[in-house]
Amino acid sequence: MKRAGFSTRWLPIMLLLPQLLIIVIFFYWPAWHAVRSSFFLQDPFGFGETFVGLKNYASLFKSSAYMRSAWFTLFFVVLVTFFSLAIALLFAVKADKVLRGAKTYRTLLMWVYAVAPPVAGVLGVIMFDQSWGPATEFFALLGYDFRLGVNYYDTAFAMVVVSVWKQLPVNFIFFLSGLQSIPRSVREAALIDNRSASSRFWDITFPLLAPTGFFLLITNITYAMFDTFGVIDVLVRGEPGNNPLTLVYKVYVDGFRGNDLGGSSAQSVVLMVLVLAMTVFQFRMVERRIHYT
């Protein structure tokens, strides 16, 4: 087969240029600035700055608040990723079996996708309101005094619930299409070999869903770390207080609320390194073991 190609040199360069410019202006340039200012302490108005070397990083890792936020982020990411994948998979498997009214079910399950994170946060505030939230009243029936914004763990619970709920439809859509792309012949062959539905699922369906699953795993980790900002911002209602904060939200609190540009830049550099490590992990470890068909 003949390789398709450009006859001139400058045409591909010209075609790539807009994209490259966008990457340079909107990614590399700000990233460079973040790296640079993480080594400085700077007057918020930009009048003076002092080079402090690694001091910003050092004070991060000896700050108990930062470490607390890092641990919270770890647990938060694990919980949100696990539950939003597990529940979405369950829904997808069940919806896949529905024959009558399948489209209606699917549409209803996807609806939440249209809800923006801050709106999801507002719904969370309403559900968990201290004096009249339906969820709070439900907990009161069980004899538990649920207090959003007062108790650290209660607030964390609300954050996880709202974030999982918000992410379910995306995972559901992907799992459903993943299930539907498994060839009917494979399933029918499995049906002859094994009568148990659950072991058929774990032996045949689940491994065949692996490519979708791993793709979702990565996007869900990213979602839990970064895109839950809106949910958290609304749930803490303007006062970080003793509420749990993810690392991304802490960058915002220290940088944009507290005007500590150096410290906040150091935090975003730490996040950049984390994302870089995750990307390397994804390509090196995971993609090699997963076979896309």
Partner 1 sequence: MKRISFVSALALSLAANASFAQTEITFWHAMGGALGDTVNQIATDFNASQDDYQITPVFKGTYEEALTAGIAAFRAGEQPNILQVFDAGAATVIGAKGATVPVQDLLIDNGVDFDIEDYISGVRYFYADSEGKMIGMPFNSSSPIMYFNENALEEAGVEAPKTWEEFENTTAPALVEAGYIPLSQSHSPWIFVENFFSRHNLPFATNNNGYDGADTEILVNSDEIKMHWSNVKEWLDEGYYNWYGASWDDNQTPFEEGKVAIWLGSSGSFGGLMAKDLPFEFSATYLPYWEAITTEPTQTFIGGASLFAMSGKSDEENAATAAFFQYLTSPEVQYMWHRETGYVPITEAAYEMAKEDGHYDRFPAAEVGIQQLSLPAGENTAGYRMGFYVQIRDVMNREFGRILTDETSVEDAFATIETEANDLLSRFAMTQQ
Residue of 258, 280, 281, 285 that binds partner 1 (CB under 8 A): 258
Instruction: Choose between 13 and 65: whose C-beta lies nearer to partner 1.
Output: 65
Interface region with partner 1, contact rule CB under 8 A, candidates 37-45, 86-94, 137-145, 159-167: 37-45
Contact status: 242 vs partner 1 (CB under 8 A): yes
Instruction: Choose between 132 and 292: whose C-beta lies nearer to partner 1.
Output: 132
Residue of 263, 265, 267, 270 that binds partner 1 (CB under 8 A): 263
How does DSSP assign the chain, residue by residue?
Answer: -PPP--SSSHHHHHHHHHHHHHHIIIIIHHHHHHHHHTTEEE-TTSS-EEE-TTHHHHHHHT-HHHHHHHHHHHHHHHHHHHHHHHHHHHHHHHHHH--TTHHHHHHHHHGGGGS-HHHHHHHHHHHT-TTT-HHHHHHHHTT----TTTSHHHHHHHHHHHHHHHHHHHHHHHHHHHHHTS-HHHHHHHHHH---HHHHIIIIIHHHTHHHHHHHHHHHHHIIIIITHHHHHHHHTT--TTS---HHHHHHIIIIIS--HHHHHHHHHHHHHHHHHHHHHIIIIIHHH----
Return d(Cα 41, Cα 51) in angstroms, integer. 7
Return d(Cα 265, Cα 254) in angstroms, integer. 9
Which of positions 157-216 make contact with partner 1 (CB under 8 A)? none
Contact status: 227 vs partner 1 (CB under 8 A): no
Instruction: Choose between 167 and 268: whose C-beta lies nearer to partner 1.
Output: 268
Rounded to 5°, the CA angle 147-153-159 comes to 85
Minimum distance, C-beta of residue 43 to partner 1, in the bound complex (Å): 5
Residue of 5, 18, 46, 143 that binds partner 1 (CB under 8 A): 46
Q: How many residues bind partner 1 (CB under 8 A)?
A: 39
Minimum distance, C-beta of residue 70 to partner 1, in the bound complex (Å): 15
Residue of 152, 214, 215, 229 that binds partner 1 (CB under 8 A): 152
Residue of 257, 281, 283, 291 that binds partner 1 (CB under 8 A): 257
Residue of 54, 140, 150, 191 that binds partner 1 (CB under 8 A): 150
Contact status: 122 vs partner 1 (CB under 8 A): no
Contact status: 133 vs partner 1 (CB under 8 A): no
Contact status: 262 vs partner 1 (CB under 8 A): yes
Contact status: 80 vs partner 1 (CB under 8 A): no
Residue of 136, 220, 243, 267 that binds partner 1 (CB under 8 A): 243
Query: Residues in the site for partner 1, rule: CB under 8 A?
Result: 41-50, 52, 59, 63-65, 130-131, 147-152, 237-243, 253-254, 256-260, 262-263
